[in-house]
Amino acid sequence: MTTRKQTVDSSKMHNLGLNFVDNGFHKNIKKFMNINTLSTNNLEHLINTMRVAHAKSSVPNKMQKRSFDGDIHNAGIIGHHYPINTQYIKPFSYTHKPFGTEVLDFNPDTGEFIVYNQQEWNENNYYKTVNQTGNTLPSLMQYVPMGMELEIIYRNSEQFNNDQCEDCANYDYDHDVRMETFCEDEYCNSDGDGADESPAADRPRVKAYKMLAELNIAFGAVTKQSKPVWIAKHDSSVDLEYVSMPMTLRAYKAGFYLAEYLFSTFRVASQWSKAFYGPCGGHIHLDKGVFNNTYQYFAFLSMHYDNPKFIAAIAQRSIGEDSSWCYMQKPREFATYTKFKRNSASRGAINVQNNTIELRYFRSNLKVERLLKNVEFAQSLYHYTSQLTYQDIARDKGTLLKYYLLWIKAYRNTYSNLFTYLKERNWINSKQKKDKYLSEAESNLFGVNRNTILSFEDNIGVEPIEEIEINGGEI
What value does the mean pLDDT take over residues 342-353?
A: 66
Tens digit of each residue's pLDDT (9 = 90 or more) over 433-444: 443 334 444 444
Res. 338 pLDDT band, cuts 50 70 90: low
Please report, rounded to a whole number, the percentage of residues in the chain having pLDDT higher than 70: 64
Q: Is the pLDDT of residue 206 over 70?
A: yes
* 371 three-state secondary structure: helix
> What's the pLDDT score for residue 435?
39
* 463 three-state secondary structure: coil
Q: Which range (58-72, 118-132, 198-212, 440-454) has the least confidence?
A: 440-454
Alpha helices in 284-439 (DSSP H): 294-305, 308-315, 331-340, 368-386, 390-394, 401-410, 416-424
Residues contacting residue 5 through CB under 8 Å, at least 6 positions apart: none
The total of other beta-carbon atoms located within 10 Å of residue 72's CB is: 13
Please report, rounded to a whole number, the percentage of residues in the chain having pLDDT higher than 90: 37
What value does the mean pLDDT take over residues 68-95?
A: 78
> What's the pLDDT score for residue 281?
87
C-alpha–C-alpha distance, residues 354 and 402, integer Å: 32
Res. 423 pLDDT band, cuts 50 70 90: very high
CB neighbour burial string for 38-54, b if at least 16 within 10 angstroms, e if fewer? bbbebbbebbeebeebb
Res. 448 pLDDT band, cuts 50 70 90: very low
Ramachandran area for residue 203 (φ above 0: left; ψ -120 to 50: alpha; else beta):
left
> What's the pLDDT score for residue 149?
95
> What's the pLDDT score for residue 260?
96
C-alpha–C-alpha distance, residues 391 and 86, integer Å: 59
C-alpha–C-alpha distance, residues 349 and 323, integer Å: 10
> What's the pLDDT score for residue 319?
61
> What's the pLDDT score for residue 235?
86
Tens digit of each residue's pLDDT (9 = 90 or more) over 251-289: 999 999 999 999 999 999 999 998 887 778 899 999 888
Tens digit of each residue's pLDDT (9 = 90 or more) over 283-300: 999 988 888 788 888 899
- Mean pLDDT across the chain, nearest whole number? 75
Tens digit of each residue's pLDDT (9 = 90 or more) over 146-203: 999 999 999 877 665 555 565 666 666 565 555 545 555 555 554 445 566 666 667 8
Beta bridge partners, 247, equal 104, 146
Q: What is the DSSP letter of 325?
A: G
Alpha helices in 123-264 (DSSP H): 126-130, 166-174, 204-218, 249-263
Q: What is the DSSP letter of 351?
A: E
